[in-house]
A and B are shown apart, each in its own frame.
Chain A
C-alpha cells in the first residue's frame, strides 16, 4: 500500500471535508423532524403562495420513464404520448429522462425538470408515485400526471386506462383459437396490474371455453430477453399453444413464439408485424390524444376541477385503451364474435369481472350479480380459478 506520498494531501482533504461539513451545518437549521410524509392524499391545500393554477405558465413539460423508449412496450407507449405533446405544443420544451428508478432518485430528476422550467410532469411508472407526491407537495404550482397511481394530491392527478377490458377480449380470442385449451402468460412480478390482466385474460378465455387454463410464469424482471425466451419455450413445451405477456419489452416473446409456430397475444403495442403467422391480437395504450388534452388543460390553468384532477381512467369506449388489429390467423367468425363482445363492453352491458368470480382456492371473491369498481380491481391480490401458478401471500 503506497500511502507514503499522500500523508500531507490527506490532511488537506480532511481539512476540506471539515470545512464542507461546517459550512453545510452552518447554513441550515437542525432538521424539521417530521419530514415529508408523502402519502397524505388530497390534504395539502395548494397554493399557500401560489395564485397560479398548477401547470400553467411553464416553458417545459417533463416525462420520466422507468425503462427505455424503444422497448416495444410500456415505455414506448408513453414515449409516443410525449412525442404527440412535443408536436402539439411547439412552445413547450419536452424534457425526458429514461431509466429513472422507482425510488427517491425520481424526486431529484423531477426537481431538476422543475428547475428547467417544467410546470407539468408525467411520472409514468407506478413506482414513481410516492416520489411524485413528495415533489408535488413542495411545488404546488406544478401539475403532476401520474400514470397508474391510486393516490392523488391537490396538484397531482393520476391517469390510466382500463387495459383489462381489451385483455379480456384478447382472452376471448385466445380461448376461441386455442386447440389445447392451455394458454401461457409471461409476467414479471406479482403486482396488482399484472394479476388483473392475467385474471381478465383467463376470464375471457373461460367465457368461451370453460376448460381453458392460463399458466402464468414470473420472470422476476420487466425485460430480460433470455429469460423471456426460456419462458416461451417452457410454456410451449408444457402444452400451451397461445402465449401472452405482461412485460415492458414485448418483442422477444412475440418473435420467439412465432418462430416456434405458436399463437401470440401482444401487450402495450401492436406487434403484429413481428408475427405475421401467429399473431392473434393484443391490448394497446393510446396515450397521444389524452396526453395532449391533459397538457392543454393544465397549461390553460384548468387543472383544478377537470376530469384529470383526481383519478382519471380512460376506457375502451374512450379509445384510451385499444384492442389491437387481428392477425391473419383469426377467422372472420371469431373476429365478429369478439367485436360483439367488445361492443357489449363499450355499451356497458358486459363487465369482464361480473360475478361470480372465484379465486384459485375456489373461494368466491366477487358475488353473483356484482361488478367490482375500478378501484377494487386495481388492488387485485389473487388469481382466479383456472389460472395455474402461485403468488406469494
Chain B
C-alpha cells in the first residue's frame, strides 16, 4: 500500500513538479508568476493538439512547452517591460489562459491520441519496492527527474545561474557589470513558462491522454506555493511536488479503506498539507528569499 501511494505520488506529482521547477527559475530571478496555471493549461492544450495533428508526442511535448512560454511572454512583457504588479498580472494571465484554452480546446475534448506510456527501465524496474515507484513511468517523468539536478547545476554552478540569481538579488550589481537585469528576468520568466507548459503537456499527453477545459484544476497555483515551501531549491521543490502527489494518492487510498471519514475532508487534505508544509518551513527560509522577490511578497506594489 505504501508503495502504491509513493508510486501515485510520482505519477500525479510530476506535472506539478515540472511547473514548480519552472516557477523556481522565474522566482530566483525575482519574478513570481501566478500565470503558471495558465501556462500549464496552454501547454496541456498545445501539447495535446500537436499530438493529435502529428501523432508524435515528443513534438507535442515541445509544443506544450512552447505554448506555456508564449503565455508567460505576456507576463514578461507586462511585468518586466511595463512594471505591472506581478501578482495581479499573474492572476489575469491565469484567467486569460483558462478562457483561451476553453475556447480553442473545444474541438479536442473527444480527440484520441497515442501519447506517452510508461516505459519500465530494464533491470531497475524489477527491484522490489523501489523499482515500481521509480522506474516504471512515462519518458517525460524520467526527463523531469533528470531536470532537477540539471536546474540545480545551472543555477548554482554556472555563470548563467549566477546571472539569474543576481537579477533576483542585486540587480545593481548586474548593471555595474554591464548586463541588463530586465532581459535576464524576462528570459527566466520565459523558461518558467516553458517548463510549466511542459508540465501541462505531461498531464495531457502522458498521464491522462485527454484534454478537457480547466483540466489543471489548480495544480499551477500549488506549484507556485511549493516553490516558496522549497525555499527556492530545486530538490526541495521536487520533494514538495511529490508530497502533494502523495496527498492526492493517499486520500484515494484512504477512501478505499471504508473508514467513516467524509470524502470532503479528504479532498481538502492536499491543500491543507501544502499550507502546513509552507508554515513548517517558513521560519527558516526568510533569509534565503531572493531579495527582489521578498519585496514583491512583502507587498511592494511594483515589479
In the complex, are there CB atoms of A and B closer than 8 Å? yes
* Contact partners of B248 in chain A: CB under 8 A: 227, 230
Q: Confirm or deny: A376 has a beta carbon within 8 angstroms of a beta carbon on chain B.
A: no
Q: Confirm or deny: B194 has a beta carbon within 8 angstroms of a beta carbon on chain A.
A: no
In the complex, the answer to whether A233 meets B11 with C-beta atoms within 8 Å is yes
In the complex, the answer to whether A389 meets B258 with C-beta atoms within 8 Å is yes
**Nearest-Cβ distance from residue A37 to partner chain B, whole angstroms:** 29
- Tell which of B106, B107, B207, B262 touches A392, judged by Cβ atoms closer than 8 Å: B262
In the complex, the answer to whether A256 meets B8 with C-beta atoms within 8 Å is no
What is the 8 Å Cβ interface bit string for chain A, positions 225-256, against chain B (1 contact, 0 not)? 11111110111011000000000010110011
**Nearest-Cβ distance from residue B262 to partner chain A, whole angstroms:** 4
Q: Confirm or deny: B72 has a beta carbon within 8 angstroms of a beta carbon on chain A.
A: no
Q: CB-nearest residue of chain B relative to A188? A: B263
In the complex, the answer to whether A234 meets B8 with C-beta atoms within 8 Å is yes
* Contact partners of A319 in chain B: CB under 8 A: none
**Nearest-Cβ distance from residue A391 to partner chain B, whole angstroms:** 8
Q: Confirm or deny: B231 has a beta carbon within 8 angstroms of a beta carbon on chain A.
A: no
* Interfacial residues of chain A within 22-79, with CB under 8 A of chain B in the complex: 68, 70-72, 76
* Contact partners of B259 in chain A: CB under 8 A: 390
- Tell which of A72, A226, A235 touches B219, judged by Cβ atoms closer than 8 Å: A226
* Interfacial residues of chain B within 197-227, with CB under 8 A of chain A in the complex: 203-204, 207-210, 212-213, 215-217, 219
In the complex, the answer to whether A70 meets B249 with C-beta atoms within 8 Å is no
**Nearest-Cβ distance from residue B57 to partner chain A, whole angstroms:** 14
Q: CB-nearest residue of chain B relative to A190? A: B263
**Nearest-Cβ distance from residue A278 to partner chain B, whole angstroms:** 15
What is the 8 Å Cβ interface bit string for chain B, positions 248-261, against chain A (1 contact, 0 not)? 11001101111111
Q: Confirm or deny: B15 has a beta carbon within 8 angstroms of a beta carbon on chain A.
A: yes
* Contact partners of A391 in chain B: CB under 8 A: 262-263
Q: CB-nearest residue of chain B relative to A259? A: B117
In the complex, the answer to whether A228 meets B252 with C-beta atoms within 8 Å is no
- Tell which of B252, B256, B260 touches A388, judged by Cβ atoms closer than 8 Å: B256
Q: How far is the CA of A234 from the CA of B247 in the complex (A)?
A: 12
* Contact partners of A249 in chain B: CB under 8 A: 109, 210, 212
In the complex, the answer to whether B252 meets A71 with C-beta atoms within 8 Å is no
Q: CB-nearest residue of chain A relative to B113? A: A255
- Tell which of A68, A215, A230, A390 touches B261, judged by Cβ atoms closer than 8 Å: A390
In the complex, the answer to whether A238 meets B217 with C-beta atoms within 8 Å is no
In the complex, the answer to whether A392 meets B264 with C-beta atoms within 8 Å is yes
In the complex, the answer to whether A230 meets B263 with C-beta atoms within 8 Å is no
Q: Confirm or deny: B12 has a beta carbon within 8 angstroms of a beta carbon on chain A.
A: yes
* Contact partners of B300 in chain A: CB under 8 A: none
What is the 8 Å Cβ interface bit string for chain A, positions 244-274, against chain B (1 contact, 0 not)? 0000010110011001000000000000001
In the complex, the answer to whether A70 meets B110 with C-beta atoms within 8 Å is yes
Known: A220-B267, A237-B4. A229 touches B106 (CB 8 A): no
In the complex, the answer to whether B203 meets A388 with C-beta atoms within 8 Å is no
Q: Confirm or deny: A217 has a beta carbon within 8 angstroms of a beta carbon on chain B.
A: yes
Between A and B, how many residue pairs show CB distances below 8 Å?
Answer: 118
In the complex, the answer to whether B260 meets A217 with C-beta atoms within 8 Å is no
**Nearest-Cβ distance from residue A386 to partner chain B, whole angstroms:** 11
Known: A190-B263, A226-B15, A237-B7. A71 touches B215 (CB 8 A): no
Q: Confirm or deny: A223 has a beta carbon within 8 angstroms of a beta carbon on chain B.
A: yes
In the complex, the answer to whether A72 meets B12 with C-beta atoms within 8 Å is no
Q: How far is the CA of A52 from the CA of B267 in the complex (A)?
A: 50
In the complex, the answer to whether B106 meets A68 with C-beta atoms within 8 Å is yes
* Contact partners of A229 in chain B: CB under 8 A: 11-12, 207-208
Q: CB-nearest residue of chain B relative to A215? A: B256
* Contact partners of B257 in chain A: CB under 8 A: 388
Known: A220-B263, A226-B215, A256-B208. A234 touches B4 (CB 8 A): yes
Q: How far is the CA of A238 from the CA of B15 in the complex (A)?
A: 23
* Contact partners of A76 in chain B: CB under 8 A: 110
Q: CB-nearest residue of chain B relative to A383? A: B258
* Contact partners of A287 in chain B: CB under 8 A: none
In the complex, the answer to whether A68 meets B256 with C-beta atoms within 8 Å is no
Q: How far is the CA of A85 from the CA of B262 in the complex (A)?
A: 42
Q: Confirm or deny: B180 has a beta carbon within 8 angstroms of a beta carbon on chain A.
A: no
**Nearest-Cβ distance from residue B48 to partner chain A, whole angstroms:** 11
Known: A229-B207, A234-B4, A389-B256. A221 touches B217 (CB 8 A): yes
In the complex, the answer to whether B262 meets A68 with C-beta atoms within 8 Å is no
* Contact partners of A252 in chain B: CB under 8 A: 208-210, 212
* Contact partners of A68 in chain B: CB under 8 A: 106, 109, 212-213
In the complex, the answer to whether B256 meets A251 with C-beta atoms within 8 Å is no
Q: How far is the CA of A177 from the CA of B15 in the complex (A)?
A: 35
- Tell which of B106, B204, B252 touches A217, judged by Cβ atoms closer than 8 Å: B252
**Nearest-Cβ distance from residue B154 to partner chain A, whole angstroms:** 28
Q: Confirm or deny: B112 has a beta carbon within 8 angstroms of a beta carbon on chain A.
A: yes
Q: How far is the CA of A252 from the CA of B217 in the complex (A)?
A: 15
What 10 A-B pairs have minimum CB-CB distances, sorted nearest first? A70-B109, A392-B262, A237-B4, A225-B208, A234-B252, A218-B263, A220-B267, A252-B210, A225-B210, A70-B110
B contact residues vs A (CB 8 Å cutoff): 4, 7-8, 11-12, 15, 106-107, 109-110, 112, 117, 203-204, 207-210, 212-213, 215-217, 219, 248-249, 252-253, 255-264, 266-267
Chosen A-B contacts, 24 in total, with CB atoms closer than 8 Å, are A68-B109, A71-B109, A72-B109, A215-B255, A215-B256, A220-B264, A220-B267, A224-B215, A225-B204, A225-B208, A226-B207, A226-B208, A227-B217, A229-B208, A230-B248, A233-B11, A238-B4, A238-B253, A251-B110, A251-B112, A256-B209, A390-B258, A391-B263, A392-B264
Contacts beyond the supplied A249-B210, A390-B259: 9 A-B pairs with Cβ under 8 Å: A68-B106, A217-B255, A224-B217, A225-B212, A229-B11, A229-B208, A233-B7, A256-B209, A259-B117
A contact residues vs B (CB 8 Å cutoff): 68, 70-72, 76, 189-190, 215-218, 220-221, 223-231, 233-235, 237-238, 249, 251-252, 255-256, 259, 274, 360, 388-392
